[in-house]
Amino acid sequence: MFLSPDRVELEERSLARARSPVQAKSFTESITSAFPQYLLATASLSKHWQVWLVSLFLVSVPVFFEAPLVRSAPWFSLICTVGWLAIAKHLQESPKSKLWGSLIWGFSLTWLCGSLYWGWLRWEPAYHVPVEALALPWAIWATRHDSHRVGGWFYIGSLIGTSITDLYFYIAHLFPHWQALMQVEANVSLAQPILKSALNLVETPWGMTWACILAALLLIAGNRAMRSPDFGYWAFGGAVLGTIFVDLLFFSVAILG
C-alpha cells in the first residue's frame, strides 16, 4: 500500500515528461497568438499617426492654396466646398476609407468658413473667429456620430487654433497691422514695412511672453488629445499643433520679408 521513494520519483519524472509537450505547445501557441495582435497594434498606431499628419497638412492647405484662390476667385473657392463634400461622401461609402471621408468632411467645413471670411471680410479681423465658427453646430453634432466624429473633432481643433492665434493678435495689438496689410496685400513693397512694424511688436518682451504662453497651451492640448486611442482626438491634436506650424511659417515670412 505504500510506494517506495524510487517508485515515487520515477512516476514524478514520467508525469513531468508527459506535461512538458503540453506546456511547450501552450507556450508556442501563446507566442503565435500574440504576434498578430502585436501587428494589429502596430498598424493601429501607424494609422493614428497618419490621421495626425493628414490633419496637420489639411490645416496648412488654406495657407498655400485657399488663400491665393479666394483672393482672386472668392465665388469659385466657395463653390469648391461642394466638391470637398462630394469627395467626403464618396470616401465614406467604403468601410476602408470612411475614416478619411469623415476627415475631409470636417475639412470642408473649415474651407467653407475660410472662403466666406477671406473672400469678403478679411479686412475686419474682429469678424474672423465668428465667421470661422459658423459651422460649429454641425461639428458638435458630428462628434456624437461615428460616421463624422473624426471630421467634427478636426474642425473643432482648427477653430481652437484659430481662436488662440487671433487672441495673440489682439493681445499683441496686431489688429491694425492686419487691416493695413489687407489693404496693400497685392503690393509687396508696401507690405514689407507693415510686416516689419508688426515684427517689432512680436519681438518685445510682452509679445514673446504671450507667444510662449499661448503656444504652450496649444502644445498641451494637442499632446493630451494624442494620449487617447480615439482617431477623432488625434485629428484634433493634428489640427491644434498644425496651427503652431502655420504661425511659425508666418513668423518666418515676416522675418525674411
Which tens digit of pLDDT belongs to each residue from 146-167? 999 999 999 999 999 999 999 9
The DSSP line for the chain is ----HHHHHHHHHHHHHHHHHHHHHHHHHHHHHHHHHHHHHHHHHHHHHHHHHHHHHHHHHIIIIIHHHHHH-HHHHHHHHHHHHHHHHHHHTSTTTHHHHHHHHHHHHHHHHHHHHHHHTTT-GGGHHHHHTTTHHHHHHHTTSTTTHHHHHHHHHHHHHHHHHHHHHHHTT-HHHHHHHHHSTT-HHHHHHHHHHHHHHHTSHHHHHHHHHHHHHHHHHHHHHTTSS-HHHHHHHHHHHHHHHHHHHHHHHHHH-
Q: Given pLDDT bands bounded at 50, 70 and 90, which one contains residue 44? A: low
Q: What does pTM read for this prediction?
A: 0.83
pLDDT at 76 over 90: yes
Predicted local confidence at residue 28, as pLDDT? 39
The lowest-confidence range among 31-45, 46-60, 63-77, 181-195 is 31-45
The lowest-confidence range among 158-162, 209-213, 240-244, 252-256 is 252-256
Do the Cβ atoms of 103 and 54 come closer than 8 Å?
A: yes
Predicted local confidence at residue 32, as pLDDT? 40
Q: Given pLDDT bands bounded at 50, 70 and 90, which one contains residue 206? A: very high
pLDDT cut 90: percent of the chain above it: 65
Of residues 235 and 29, the one with the higher pLDDT is: 235
Which burial class, exposed, middle or buried, applies to 48 when counting CB atoms under 10 A from its CB (0-12, 13-18, 19+)? Answer: buried
pLDDT at 195 over 70: yes
pLDDT at 2 over 50: no
Mean pLDDT, all residues of the chain = 85
Predicted local confidence at residue 184, as pLDDT? 87
pLDDT at 239 over 80: yes
The lowest-confidence range among 52-66, 91-105, 142-156, 202-216 is 52-66
